[in-house]
Every structure is written in structure tokens, then in C-alpha cells.
Amino acid sequence: MGTHPTVTAHDAIVRHAGSAPTDTRPLSGGAVVAHLENRATTVVAKPAAGPNATAAEGAGLRWLAESGDVPVPHAHGWDDAWLVVDYIEPAGGSPTPTAATTFGRGLAALHLRGAPTFGAPPPGGPVDAWIGLAPMANNTARSDTTWSDFYARDRIEPYVRAAVDQGIFDSSEAAVFDAVCSRLPELQPDTEPPARLHGDLWTGNVHWGADGRGWLIDPAAHGGHRETDLAMLRLFGAPHLDHILGAYAEAAAEAGHPLAPGHEGRVGLHQLFPLLVHTVLFGGGYAHQALATARQALRGTS
């Protein structure tokens, strides 16, 4: 997982949380959960998935946590090998509709906190970041760069090129995505400022805690379009998704920034990014789904 051979989870927890770990146990992916000897706190030490991965996630967690709109685990610190964050005890069952409504309203407020530009990394975060196990560029674009320019350059074209290089798409299939990129200003009018995105908001990264709240974990945070986070949340479903989306829309409207007309028809357009990431990582059915979604986007349907 990219950890430095001489740096252990124990070392990282002592360094970044300031206390020796006790009662440690492993989690998936090489992570370690531990109680802190001198505090009533439990932390997780997560190994780096690749260069800059811990810095990208740690900076993203802190950026998302700034406003307190949505619960986010505290990031104690990170180095090249490990990220140390608070462990959030999972809920014993499904979240309630009330919890989903609260999460949706908080997410709307978080998005409206904004970002400097489209593609901007979190403060202190690296340009060369990650989304899951795939590289992701967070280029600090010029302030006049449109969402369409950013989405084509950094969220569609790199993954289409990678898929072509892997033999997943041929040239005619890649041309479908080129057509989407050329029509982005028409398909998604550039009328919104950059939003503060989680960036990898599939249902697995909404952690329903034992405290009854929905927590944001494992971000790929950056400045982007808020419809992208919402589209990703729809991609694999989520508990009480209708409550989340309904509360989101209500809160956004109350704040004077309702979702733009036609957003329901643009879901597929915004799902192209995660679908292409999955295509590069896993191939198979994701490639077919990405291509079908691109063709639907060109027809103006999702």
C-alpha cells in the first residue's frame, strides 16, 4: 500500500496523535484501529495508497471540516506512509430518515462554502492527488477557467486516454467522449461558482455513525460542480436517498442557491467521471456503462 518499511502504524499514531496506541486491531487495506493510551479516543492509522495520498486525504478532511456543516473525522496528522484520523464507531443498523435529511441539508451548506477555482485542491493539498486507487489531478486553474474546461481536461480526458492505452476503448469509442467534452458548455451551462466537493461521494464514503449522524470519510476533495457530488451519491444508491436529495434541494433553495433547472437530466453527465475512474481501475461492465452514459448525455438524457 505504499507505506515506508521503517514507519509502523504505532510510530505514526504516537507522532501524530501524541499518545501510545493500545488495543490495536487490523482493518481492511492494512489500516489499524487503536485506542489512545492517555485519551478516551480511538483512531485509525491508514496506509498511503500512493505518493501524496495521505496529504490529499488529510488536507481534504480538514477543508471539509472547517465549517462544521457535516461531521468529518478529525485528521490528527499524516506523513508519507500513514494518515491518522479519529475512528467513528459505525451504527448498528440503518440510518433513520431524519438522519438522512440532516445529512442532505448539511451537504448543501458545505457545497456552498465554495472553492477558489474549479479543480482547486484543499488548502495544503497536493496537485497530484487520488480518487480511491486512481490518480487525480487537482490543478489550481485560473479564476476564469470554466467548469466545462476543467471537467473535460481533468475529469474526462485523462481517464479516457488511460482506458485507450489499456485497450478498453478503441478510437471510435473514445470519440464519443470527445464529443461530450466539446459539447459540455451546452450540456451544462456554466452558471455556478465552484463548490466545495467531497469528490468521491459514493454511498460507502457516507459513514453512518453510532451517534446517528452521517459522516464524510475518504474524500477526494476539490473545487467542482455540486451536481457531481450528488450524481456520484446516486450512482450506487444510498439509504433514504430520496430524503437526502429532497433535503438538499430544500436547503439550497432556502440559501438562495437552488439547483439549476434540468439538473435531473444531467445526472449521467456528472457520473461520467466516477464511471471512467472505475473503468480504468476495473474495466468490464464499467466501460460499457460509461460509454452508454456518454451517449445518453449527448442525447440530453440521463
Distance CA 27, CA 32 (A): 6
Active site residue 211: no
Cβ neighbours, 10 Å, residue 176? 18
Query: How many angstroms separate the Cα of 48 from the Cα of each of 42, 56, 137, 204?
Result: 20, 10, 17, 19
Residue identified by cell 506523513 is 79
Residue identified by cell 514507519 is 7
Catalytic residue among 149, 154, 200, 218: 200
Distance CA 217, CA 113 (A): 18
Rounded to the nearest angstrom, the gap between the alpha carbon of residue 79 and the centroid of all alpha carbons in its chain is 21
Cα–Cα nearest to 216, from 235, 238, 186, 190: 238
Distance CA 268, CA 8 (A): 42
Q: Which sign does the torsion angle of CA 214, 215, 219, 223 carry? A: positive
CA-based R_g, the chain, Å: 19
Distance CA 163, CA 173 (A): 10
Distance CA 145, CA 42 (A): 42
Cα–Cα nearest to 228, from 115, 86, 75: 115
215 - beta bridge partners? 207
Q: Say if strands 42-47 and 75-78 run parallel, antiparallel, or are unpaired.
A: unpaired
Query: How many angstroms separate the Cα of 60 from the Cα of each of 76, 124, 299?
Result: 13, 9, 35
Residue positions annotated with a catalytic role? 200
